[in-house]
Structure 1
Amino acid sequence: MLSSNLSGKSLSLPSRLFSPPRSPSSLLSSSSATAFPPFLVTDPGISFTFKMLKIKTPKSGRAKRELEKREPKLVEGGRKTMLLHGTKTSSVLNAVLSDIYNLKRGSAVRYTKKNENIRPFESGGETSLEFFSLKTDCSLFVFASHSKKRPDNLVIGRTYDHHIYDLVEVGIENFKPMESFSYDKKLAPKVGSKPFIAFIGEGFENVEELKHFKEVLLDLLRGEVVENLNLAGLDHIYVCTAVSSSRVFFSHCALRLKKSGTIVPRMELVEVGPSMDFIVRRHRLPNEGLRKEAMKTAPEQTKKKVKNVRGDAILGKIGKIYIPDQKVGDTALPNKSKGVKRERREAKVQNGFLSKKRKVESD
């Protein structure tokens, strides 16, 4: 807010009407005159008082560590997904968001209230969306809306540094929820398990919209990126089939292993839902500068050479170990045997006998 004195009276003006100048001397300059309402610039009897906003800094170690976790990193961790409702939704969209939330349980945040100010494809309509992304630290989002022009509409997008990176808009048709499928509950996918993802059809390689949709679906469904994988944890698969240049059939199946007479078991697919048809409507790619900035990777670190170690195709890793002289002869013995003591006594007697003999011979 901006406070001013107009004819002895206080006047408060919202800060969104203009952008405040950098210095008081530039209030009436030609460069800043266009940023102020005309009656404020031309009236010399108005005085302005600017109030600086206080920037809050973390005071506790816990708050500092939390902010460090949210900072951009070259190697990102697991991505979280944010689910939101638009001004108007349908029962189909509510069921779709519920199933997506169940599939990504543990790495998803869902808002159930309606959001009237979110319009991802319009200028200025992404402000609230970016605020929620910053608040929840989510880099993926699914926004549901329903209208006469675009019924059962989903907008799936990604963010970079909590700003909109790219968007894909799809319509939902022929939706079947997870509750409509009957199967052995032992086959239900476990929370946190890694899925297979299959893309079938030439459209994912030839059609620009489907290629972009494939990238977004991969980020949405694959979960956390890991280096090592336990094959026992692969218990379900997402199948995406490009039926045409704008239609993709999506299904979710569990994997059933059966005996095959060999070491490798025979694998069967059991549909567990949900299943639906995606109708690709609009999409927005990131600009080239933003793409280059988001695609930065950490420089490859050269491995430091390990001395005295070599590799062998049969024996594997072979190393040389150099052991210095242990000097065993100088080691002090803590417990001396009786034989050593007897030898010493005999040596003393012998030395005494020899000394007496030499004395007698000298006389």
Structure 2
Amino acid sequence: MPCYPSLFAAHLRVDNVGTILEQVETNKKTLILHGTKTSAVLNSVLSDIYHLKRDNAVKYTKKNDNIRPFESGGETSLEFFSLKTDCSLIVYGSHSKKRPNNLVLGRTYDHHIYDLVEIGVENYKSMESFVYDKKLAPKLGSKPFFAFIGEHFESAEELKHLKEVLLDLFKGEVVENLNLAGVDRIYVCTAVSPTTVYMMHCALRLKRSGTSIPRMELVEVGPSMDLVVRRHRLPVESLRKEAMKTVEHAKKLKNVTKDPIHGRLGKVYMPDQEVGKLTLSNDVKGLKRERREAKKNKEHSKKQKVNSE
């Protein structure tokens, strides 16, 4: 399932004459916000998410009254905070009797709301509730594995969407080369039903196996929780097409180079010519002048002949 790798925060790399060479994705920052009312469980959830994303996240603890992500005009404040903090991922927590322990995960394109997923948090266990060797704690900047278990991630539209958002939220920085020593944790997401996912965060422990390939064990380090999808909003098709546009690379021109000082330079090749065999075209200015003078002399001689007669 694609996770829209270059969807939200990107800059263009151009050459010295302004030609776009490549669209480069920048790191996606996460904005964490509190609603008008939150519960102790929800405060702990937001704190754990911030702890997992602390190298690339911004957290506001002040309560926000006028944020209604799924209502018309209610996303204005989210877009304002996204622009202010330059964040393309949003985690918004609120608590009410109708929707207890409610989390809204959102993504933006050009600092406008792109899509939203609303989930309820159940059976939550915080990171502090787990006892383990602190040497196994995830290191800052490490890359996680992801395991999505269950056919509902392919058949249920809600879980397809949730999978994309979770990948974008927790995958970390986009890299080309990876040191396996930096892959020390895994998120295991199990689809219990078409709307419910059990999510757990584990550290990877390497054990001796008697061979060159070590045996791998999972040690749960938290948090763990059940995520129940309540509402979700897919992007508008026109916005999705605009966000998924890629830079079309220009056709390479033959014998054309680019110089940092002179700009664009071109080479022209002419066949070898021998002295004495050069031919001049009829468009040479010198030949035209000679013809005009010859014609003038001819007319002058005709006038003299008529006058003599």
Does 265-274 or 289-298 show the bigger shift? 289-298
TM-score normalised to structure 2 length: 0.74
Letter in 1 for 2:208: K
Residue 299 of structure 1 corresponds to 248
CA deviation profile, 1:204-244 (whole Å, cap 9, x unmatched): 00000100000000000101111111111000000110000
Distance 1:302 1:222 in 2: 34
- From 146, 153, 166, give the equivalent of 1:204: 153
Distance 1:264 1:117 in 2: 54
Contact 2:208 2:215 in 1 (8 A): yes
Letter in 2 for 1:145: S
Residue 120 of structure 1 corresponds to 69
Distance 2:123 2:216 in 1: 27
Contact 1:75 1:298 in 2 (8 A): no
Structure 1 segment 1-363 matched on structure 2, within 5 A: 73=12, 74-299=23-248
CA deviation profile, 1:280-312 (whole Å, cap 9, x unmatched): 00000001110001111233578999xxxxxxx
C-alpha change, 1:149 and 1:72, in structure 2 (3 Å) is farther
Q: Does the residue aligned with 1:274 lie in a helix, a strand or coil?
A: strand
Relative CO higher for 1 or 2, CA cutoff 8 Å, sep ≥ 6? 2
C-alpha change, 1:180 and 1:291, in structure 2 (3 Å) is same
For structure 1, which runs of at least 5 residues remain unmatched after alignment? 1-69, 306-363
Q: CA deviation at 1:147?
A: 0.6
Contact 2:10 2:24 in 1 (8 A): no
C-alpha change, 1:300 and 1:263, in structure 2 (3 Å) is farther
Distance 2:42 2:245 in 1: 36
Contact 1:72 1:161 in 2 (8 A): no
Contact 1:254 1:270 in 2 (8 A): yes
Distance 2:223 2:162 in 1: 18
Distance 1:301 1:270 in 2: 50
Contact 2:10 2:26 in 1 (8 A): no
Give the strand-richer structure, 1 or 2.
2
Letter in 2 for 1:223: G
Q: Does the residue aligned with 2:26 lie in a helix, a strand or coil?
A: coil
Contact 2:10 2:25 in 1 (8 A): no
**Identity score, percent:** 76
Contact 2:11 2:26 in 1 (8 A): no
Distance 2:234 2:37 in 1: 26
Q: CA deviation at 1:249?
A: 0.2
Contact 1:195 1:222 in 2 (8 A): yes
Distance 1:115 1:127 in 2: 12
CA deviation profile, 1:29-48 (whole Å, cap 9, x unmatched): xxxxxxxxxxxxxxxxxxxx
For structure 2, which runs of at least 5 residues remain unmatched after alignment? 1-8, 13-22, 255-309
Q: How many residues align?
A: 236
Q: CA deviation at 1:76?
A: 1.5
C-alpha change, 1:72 and 1:289, in structure 2 (3 Å) is farther
What CA RMSD, in Å, does the superposition of the two structures yield over aligned residues?
1.7
Q: CA deviation at 1:91?
A: 0.4
Residue 9 of structure 1 corresponds to none
